[in-house]
Structure 1
Amino acid sequence: MDIFILVVFILGYAFIALEHNIHIDKAASALVTGTVCWALFVLGWHDVPAHLAEEYHLFAADHGAGGHGGLAQFFEHRLLHHMEEISSILFFLMGAMTIVELVDAHEGFRVITDRIQTRNKVKMLWIVCILTFFFSALLDNLTTSIVMVSLLRKLIDDRQTRWLFAGMVVIAANAGGAWSPIGDVTTTMLWIGGQLTTTTIIANLILPSVVCLLVPLVALSVRLKGEIDRPVSEDEEEWDPTTPFERNLVFGAGVAGLLFVPVFKTVTHLPPFMGMMLSLGALWMLTERLHHSKNIEEKAHLTVIGVLRKIDTASVLFFLGILLAVASLQEAGHLLLAADWLRTSLDDVYLIDLAIGLLSAIVDNVPLVAASMGMYDIVPAAAVTDGWTGMFVQDGIFWQFLAYCAGTGGSALIIGSAAGVAVMGLERIDFVWYLKKISLLAVLGYFAGAGVYLLMFA
């Protein structure tokens, strides 16, 4: 039955890729794919998969479950386990989208857009990518991509040009997140797991990450010509319900709230969505007090309640479907088989990491890195016996290169990273369009950055 799960996943992947050709929204395809894959997994297994045997025995001992009924309970337990992680991502996404929309409703991004005067496409591209790169390291690649898409809508009117810039935002966000402990979820996993330390991540990965962005940025700049058409602004004489003070206050509070999330996570060790919910709640209270004296019509679109109606729910459901589908592959053992094949076939840590990075463009990088962390233990320095085991010590080459590859390889396809999926949902970017226009640039940057790392440490 596990082969049918893989077939359904591939078919669902094709439906998502051909969204505009078959006229079926990708969120619908993702939801069907995710739920059918799980249904096949539950109905097709009459015994516990070998890689889950130990967990099943622990579950049965704790819950007194056994037999077919116990197996069904265990599968439900596994699904809910994945839903914990998936829900945390979805709540994080919804919180970030709401904060960004709230700032946008107050025209807070004018603080930035009013300072970007150039209409030259090349100059604009460099400004946007550099901002994205460093914002991603400070915030994270998912939040940054959401913020930058909102900025692009204020700066660029033509959809095709905006898509091109949005594609580069994906590359820049993933490159910027790779060299920061809080910039990408996989880097954070390796950081929290003890495989990498903060100083090593920053010192050893920043240069490869910069090159990963610079190569596609220069390549695109060479063939990018002309000027940008700005969106037609509203009549300046039209009454504006927000004052400059209110705009600046909400913008400052929104950015501070987003920056607070990684700090909250570091201090409390709670999941990032908790910090995002706290920031959203605080901003909600601020805007309620800020506009309490205005009538309902004036403040209808300036409150969180009004902004929530504008949230792209389809993107959230798309995330849900994709992550459910990938989780089913993980439960069926396909990802472990892939990781094991890489280990036995390639037998080289650099090739393994490069392959994991490219594979992360097809399936989510989180379970791939999780599988790698499960397959390869941290080797104590005193236990190193040869060059191979030396690669797996804390801050070892394998873990460093894995952080870079898993963080940046997903840019090769638009559904290969959280940033890409968010941008795809917000801008409705076509999968095939991204494949034609951006994927080659992303792959060039990926291998260029990898080459720099190899020159530094191989």
Structure 2
Amino acid sequence: MLDLLLIGIAILALAGVIFEEALHVNKAKTTLFLGTLAWIILFINADKGPGLVEVNDSLLHNITEISTLWLFLVAAMTFVAYLNRKGMIENLLNLIMPAQISLKKLLFFTALFSFCFSSLADNITATLVSIALVLSLGLPFNQTLRFAVLVVFAVNSGGVSLITGDVTTLMIFMQGKVTITQLLMLLLPALAAVLLLACMLSYGLKGTVKIKRTKRKMRTVDYVIAGIFLSTIVLTLVGNVQYGIPPMLSFLTGMSVMFLVATFMGDKESDNDPILDYIRLIEFDTLLFFLGVLLLVGMLEHIHALGALLHVYTLLPPTGANYVMGVLSSMIDNVPLTAALLKANIDMSTPEWMALTYAVGVGGSLLVIGSAAGIVAMSKVKGLTFARYGKFSLLLLLAYSVGYGLVLLLSQALVE
């Protein structure tokens, strides 16, 4: 009975996100309330019994994961907020874009940029930079919406073939289910799916965009901080692969270096623009939404509700079950979902493990709340809601399905 109540709370939280516009209640408020309520119910049910220690340990583990993500987001968002406010994003756009470009070409450029950048950086940083580029164009909202949807899908697709690009990819690799060479085979199917989505989203797009050439004046310190940002991304990848340094720690170090450099290199900090104030420019409602969602996911993991999804593998063959898991990852955090699958030690071939890697990495794009990239995009693009993103779900499902099918075909052919 308790488990049904808690699952009902999670469903209620999802409904609160879906009907945010109708309810006129910010999704961060509903998810945070229901997430904390669920854990309070767990503690009350334990009532100083033998299960109290287990509930407490689960909550502490959940809070550790959340705080790690929070701190990483704070650092990454602060970097992007600084560079955006100083005009670095606009200047980058002026440097790499022609003075005039058609909307269709711009859409494909955005797809390739987001895909490639997410292969080098983490999904959150790639989304922040890609969305900042899109918003700097000043497009009408209906066009911005198409670009934002494409960015989310491209970012999630870009990191799926690298162990540094997606946590679930790393988890499957660490369990010895796939090799790095086999993972790199996912690159072409993932890119093909992104280009297919770009083709579908470009339908009906007409006209051209003039890139403003009003170059913002940059100080030497601004270029140095941009270099620190790029160095932080590179060193985060190297440090994580070589020494197991958490990305959160690397980004916090990079942010602290940025603060010190801005203080000692820049003009003496004025009261109008102190460097520490850039932390205030990040979207804390996004962080609260993350907190609520991850509390709910942690609760579901504690009551073993995610493990129940493994029954799908008794009803469908692995290829079909993996496809379903990708779709489900748009509603459930793909990390605990993948962890549950790995713990179950399901007997699958290498092509099937490769297909699962693609599914849980890209499937979260089907809903805006299904991935960190989607949640970040929702916070940055005003008016991007669950319902508006949902209008593109069929196109996203088609692109995901084609990519999944190509992964099966290519992996089967190469492994044989």
Place the TM-score, normalised by the shorter chain, in its bin. Answer: over 0.9
Task: Identify the residue that residue 140 of structure 2 maps to in structure 1.
Answer: 158
- State the Cα deviation string for residues 380-427 of structure 1 (Å, max 9, x = none): xxxxxxxxx461xxxx22321111000111111000111111111222
Name the counterpart of 2:228.
253
Q: 1:136 touches 1:144 (CA, 8 Å); kept in 2?
A: yes
Q: What does 1:19-30 correspond to in 2, within 5 Å?
A: 19-30=20-31
Q: 2: distance between equivalents of 1:328 and 1:118?
A: 51
Find the aligned partners of 1:127 and 1:398 in 2 and give their Cα distance: 32
* Structure 2 Cα separation of the partners of residues 285 and 267 of structure 1: 27
Q: Does 1:147 align with 2:101?
A: no
CA contact (8 A) 2:153 2:362 kept: yes
Count how many residue pairs are aligned between Structure 1 and Structure 2: 408
Is structure 2 residue 224 aligned with structure 1 residue 223? no
**Residues 319-338 of structure 1: pairs in structure 2 closer than 5 A:** 319-338=290-309
Looking at structure 2, the residues matched to 278 and 157 of structure 1 have their Cα atoms a distance apart, in angstroms, of 35
Q: Could you give the per-residue CA deviations for residues 343-370 of structure 1, whole angstroms, max 9, x where no partner exists?
A: 2111x21112111100001111111101
Percent pairwise identity = 29
- Confirm or deny: 8 A CA contact 1:260 1:279 kept in the other structure: no
Which residue in the other structure is 1:371 paired with?
340
- Equivalents in 1 of 2:343, 2:222: separation in Å? 47
Name the counterpart of 2:323. 354
User: Which residue, out of 362, 385, 389, partners 1:430?
Assistant: 385
Correspondence for 2:368 among 414, 425, 447: 414
Distance 1:191 1:278 in 2: 27
1:314 and 2:285 aligned: yes
Q: How does 1:287-302 map to 2 (within 5 A)?
A: 287-293=262-268, 295-297=270-272, 299-300=273-274
Secondary structure at the counterpart of residue 181 of structure 1: coil
**C-alpha distance in 2 between matches for 1:122 and 1:290:** 42
Equivalent position of 1:64 in the other structure: none
Kindly indicate whether the alpha-carbon contact (under 8 Å) linking 2:164 and 2:241 is maintained by their aligned counterparts in 1.
no
Structure 1 segment 57-456 matched on structure 2, within 5 A: 68-115=48-95, 116=97, 117-202=99-184, 204-228=185-209, 243=218, 245-293=220-268, 295-297=270-272, 299-300=273-274, 303=275, 305-339=276-310, 341-346=311-316, 348-376=317-345, 389=347, 391=349, 396-428=350-382, 429-436=384-391, 438-456=392-410
How much has 1:176 moved relative to structure 2? 0.5
| Match in the other structure for 2:37 | 36
Deviations 1:128-169 (A, max 9, x none): 110100100111222100111112221234233222211110
Which ranges of structure 1 fall in alignment gaps of 5 or more residues?
A: 47-67, 378-388
Seen in structure 2, the aligned counterparts of structure 1 residues 308 and 186 have a Cα distance that, compared at 3 Å, is: same
- d(CA) in 2 for partners of 1:265, 1:402: 23
Distance 1:226 1:33 in 2: 45
- Give per-residue Cα distances to partners, 1:263-320, cap 9 Å, x unaligned: 12112202211111111112222222222435433x43xx1x1211111111001001
Give the letter for the 1:344 counterpart. T
Kindly provide the CA deviation profile for residues 54-82 of structure 1, in whole angstroms up to 9, marking residues without a partner as x.
xxxxxxxxxxxxxx444212211111011
Distance 2:203 2:92 in 1: 26
- CA–CA distance in structure 2, aligned partners of residues 227 and 29 of structure 1: 41
Where 2:73 maps in the other structure, the secondary structure is helix
The letter for the 1-side match of 2:28 is: A
Q: Look up the equivalent residue of 1:351 and give its one-letter code.
A: G
Larger Rg: 1
**CA distance 1:280–1:197, change in 2 (3 Å):** farther
Alpha-carbon distance in structure 2 between the residues aligned to 1:229 and 1:330: 49
> 2:71 & 2:239 partners in 1: Cα distance?
16
Contact 2:146 2:201 (C-alpha < 8 Å) held by counterparts = no
Q: Which shifted more, 288-297 or 426-435?
A: 288-297
Letter in structure 2 aligned against 1:335 = L
Deviation string 1:183-229 (CA, Å, 9 cap, x unpaired) is 11211222334333322211x21111112211111111232222347
For 2:26 and 2:165, the matched residues in 1 are separated by 30
CA distance in 2, matches of 1:170, 1:73: 39
CA distance in 2, matches of 1:110, 1:255: 17
What is the root-mean-square deviation of aligned Cα atoms in Å?
2.1
Task: Give the alignment of 1:5-20 within 5 angstroms.
Answer: 5-20=6-21
Counterpart Cα distance in 2 of 1:138 and 1:155? 24
Question: When the two structures are superposed, what TM-score results if normalisation uses the length of structure 1?
Answer: 0.84
TM-score (norm 2): 0.92
